[in-house]
Structure 1
Amino acid sequence: MNVEQVAAYCLALPGAREDYKWGGVRVFSIADTKMFAVMGLAGNDLSFKVGPELFLGYVDRPGVRPAPYLARAHWITLTYPLAMGDAELTDLLARSHQQVAAKLPKWRQAALKL
């Protein structure tokens, strides 16, 4: 997937929106503040949350590293070209979205139809 395909996929997830923060970072979030993916504006990297049980397995792969400042929350960073196939990437992005959405209050989940 290229940068715009990844961005389009993230925005197609329920309740997702895009912001630009920190001087050139595209942030995909739910409920205005809960990030589930972060992409460099230059399109050179993509970070997102993975489950704690998957974190160590992914950071051992070539092209994948712990996300700066977010590794303790089990975020990984992929560099372009992406180190995984489209199906695996879309599955992980959907899981990241679901993990973040699950931590929202129930009334917020209902309002976003999650």
Structure 2
Amino acid sequence: MTRPGFEAFILTLPRATLVRQWRDDSVAKIGGKIFALLDRDPGEVWLKVSDMAYELLTELDGIRPAPYFARAGWVAISAASPLRGDEVEAYIAEAHRLVASKLSRKVRAELGLA
């Protein structure tokens, strides 16, 4: 996934924000919490997934536990994975939903997500 494509898709998600941090990675947040990022080197999409998806996805070629984030149920999806672009986007949207659902009731209400 390219940076322009990643960033454009993120901005279609309700109340999602983008920042560039660390090594100029594109980092997607909801309510100040990270739900996905584009690691420009080596060019992977890192995102939060459910426990079941973590187990299934990490069995596929081109998908690995995300460094530093794996303990929180994150995967790193490379361009070599068998997932199509629309499937990666569906996982990003689910990551957004998962992280948003863990925000406090007050923060969700402030964001209009309650």
* 2:73 equivalent to 1:64: no
TM value normalised by structure 2: 0.88
Q: 1:42 Cα deviation (Å)?
A: 5.0
Any unmatched runs of 5+ in structure 2? none
1:72-93 per-residue CA deviation (whole Å, 9 max, x = no partner) reads: 1110001125531133212111
RMSD: 1.7
* 2:76 equivalent to 1:47: no
TM value normalised by structure 1: 0.88
The answer for the alignment partner of 1:83 in structure 2 is 82
Distance in structure 1 (CA, Å) of the matches to 2:71 and 2:110: 30
Any unmatched runs of 5+ in structure 1? none
Q: Does structure 2 retain, via aligned residues, the 8 Å contact 1:43–1:80?
A: no
Moved over 2 A (4+): 80-83
Return closer, same or farther for 1:88/1:75 CA change in 2, 3 Å cut-off.
same
The answer for the alignment partner of 2:31 in structure 1 is 31
Q: State the identity as a percent.
A: 30
Q: How many residues align?
A: 113
